[in-house]
């Protein structure tokens, strides 16, 4: 009997872990729509902004593969070497090998020097500056990164979401709004700085069923 109970408990544990993994991955996929920060409607060069080597696989592999399938030129900016356990140099090489498996060459992978520390929220302005330096050279059409929860709650991941938002404050949508100078009263500035519609838009597809209409020269 004790053996049977142990087997049943083991099976329940396995099923529970499988369900947790499924819902976790489903949550990751759901965040991609909301973490895609569009910079320009033109161009196919896009950037994946990550915090550590292995983020690109654990959280964004489906996105990378899908983007490459549709002809996008994917680059990676990983803001730390993942040196929390002193393995930074090793993990940098692992990231390069992972990139090759995903179809991203070494020349398109950039690694920053932010501290790998799960208890540290990186400064949004510093993250934005790193993005700006790379974007000034490569002119990315879009940036993909974590959502506001960092998917897993990791503070380094969360930092990327807010850093990307900070970066976008200096990009096209705000510059365009300044052209409407007569409308920039104080509450409009609050809108420009904090409204989600200045940073991303979402759409629902509506299919209109076509109907036949008699032409004017048709006999009625």
Q: pLDDT value at position 172?
A: 72
Q: Quote the DSSP letter at residue 208.
A: P
In terms of CATH architecture, what is 34-168? 3-Layer(aba) Sandwich (3.40)
Confidence of residue 126 (pLDDT cuts 50, 70, 90): very high
Residue 111 to residue 161: CA distance in whole angstroms: 17
34 within 8 A of 147, measured Cβ to Cβ:
yes
CA 135 to each of CA 31, 75, 131, 171: distance values in angstroms, whole numbers, following the listed order = 23, 11, 6, 11
User: What distance, in Å, lies between the first and last C-alpha atoms of the chain?
Assistant: 85
Quick: pLDDT tens for 71-119: 899 999 999 999 999 999 999 999 999 999 999 999 999 999 999 999 9
How many alpha carbons lie under 13 Å from residue 148 in its C-beta half-sphere? 4
CA 39 to each of CA 3, 90, 161, 196, 212: distance values in angstroms, whole numbers, following the listed order = 59, 33, 15, 14, 41
Q: Locate 156 and state its tokens.
A: 């380094």
41 within 8 A of 69, measured Cβ to Cβ:
no
Residue extents of the structural domains in the chain: 34-168, 175-200
150 within 8 A of 161, measured Cβ to Cβ:
yes
| CB-based contacts of 139, cutoff 8 Å, min separation 6 | 40, 43, 45
Q: pLDDT value at position 26?
A: 43
How does the average pLDDT of the chain come out, rounded? 75
Quick: pLDDT tens for 149-188: 887 889 999 999 999 989 987 777 555 555 565 565 555 5
């Amino acid at each position: 009997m004790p053996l049977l109970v142990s087997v049943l408990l083991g099976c329940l544990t396995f099923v529970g872990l499988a369900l947790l993994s499924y819902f976790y991955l489903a949550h990751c996929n759901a965040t991609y729509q909301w973490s895609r920060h569009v910079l320009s409607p033109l161009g196919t060069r896009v950037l994946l902004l990550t915090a550590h080597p292995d983020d690109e696989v654990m959280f964004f592999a489906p996105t990378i593969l899908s983007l490459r399938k549709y002809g996008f030129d994917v680059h990676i900016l990983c803001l730390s070497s993942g040196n929390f356990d002193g393995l930074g140099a090793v993990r940098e090489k692992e990231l390069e090998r992972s990139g090759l498996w995903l179809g991203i060459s070494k020349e398109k992978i950039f690694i920053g020097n932010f501290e790998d520390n799960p208890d540290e929220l990186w400064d949004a302005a510093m993250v934005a500056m790193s993005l700006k330096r790379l974007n000034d050279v490569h002119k990315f059409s879009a940036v993909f990164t974590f959502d506001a929860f960092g998917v897993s709650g990791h503070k380094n991941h969360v930092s990327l979401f807010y850093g990307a938002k900070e970066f976008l404050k200096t990009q096209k949508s705000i510059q365009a709004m300044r052209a409407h100078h007569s409308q920039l009263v104080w509450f409009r500035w609050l809108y420009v700085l904090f409204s989600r519609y200045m940073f991303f838009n979402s759409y629902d597809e509506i299919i209109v069923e076509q109907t036949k209409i008699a032409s004017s020269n048709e006999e009625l």
